[in-house]
Homo-oligomer: A and B are copies of this chain.
Amino acid sequence: MSMRKDGLATREKILDGARDLVLRLGYSGMKIDHVLEHVGITKGAFFHHFKTKDELAKALLRRYASQDALIYAETREQAEKLSDDPLQQILIFIRLFEDMFSEMTEPYPGCLLASYVYELQQFDDETRSLLHETFARWRTLLQEKFELIVKKYPPKTPVNPAQLADGFTVVLEGAFILAKAMNDARMASEQLRLYRNYIELLFAAPAPAR
């Protein structure tokens, strides 16, 4: 029942190290020996916690997805506390993410899901559907808000709430890529600001809280 020794801490260290390396080298480029050196453990420790590299991949993905879901949920709650209006909630939501990224001094290391997507073929169905579900959950989260907004504030142009919701993820993922390629830490917050600007113009919102 209780965690014996400190095995769980080692497991987390492995997951952290592997995540860092996957974001720098890709999943195939991340070699186990490299993780061992990076984390400061041995083969015995690693394979005690993970039967295979594939199992590490899945654990890594699951952890990342749940951590991300937590951030999304917390940010959403925070936005909902600051306003009752769905449009304002979305605008605050985006702005909170902008603030998160604007404080960074070097480019965001990237999204683990995206790095998996670009090596998609070598993962099994379980991993692929996990990716699908995670992105789908992000879509649903914002889609609900946009449906409320569309009803309350007639958009200047006919728009699809699901597409608008995907837009957030699209901008984030795209910005991560350009941020790394151009070595520009401000990319993510800048592009999110443009996305927020779009939402403002589309629904003709009053000037948002600064």
- How many residues of A sit at the interface, in one of the four size bands? 35 or more
**A170 touching B181, Cβ below 8 Å:** no
Q: How many copies does the complex hold?
A: 2
A26-B29, A136-B182, A197-B202 given; 9 more Cβ-contact pairs under 8 Å: A24-B119, A25-B119, A118-B177, A131-B181, A132-B181, A166-B187, A166-B191, A167-B194, A194-B198
Residues of B within 8 A of A115 (CB): 118
CA–CA, A156 and B205, complex, Å:
12
CA–CA, A184 and B81, complex, Å:
34
CA–CA, A28 and B167, complex, Å:
30
Residues of B within 8 A of A121 (CB): 24-25, 29
Main SS at interface, chain A: helix
A190 on interface, CB distance cutoff 8 Å: yes
Query: Separation in Å of the A124 CB from the closest CB of chain B?
Result: 14
Max chain B CB contacts within 10 Å: which of A113, A115, A164, A178? Answer: A178
**B25 touching A164, Cβ below 8 Å:** no
Residues of B within 8 A of A119 (CB): 24-26, 29
**B170 touching A174, Cβ below 8 Å:** yes
**B197 touching A157, Cβ below 8 Å:** yes
Residues of B within 8 A of A164 (CB): 194
**A178 touching B170, Cβ below 8 Å:** yes
Residues of B within 8 A of A178 (CB): 135, 166, 169-170, 173
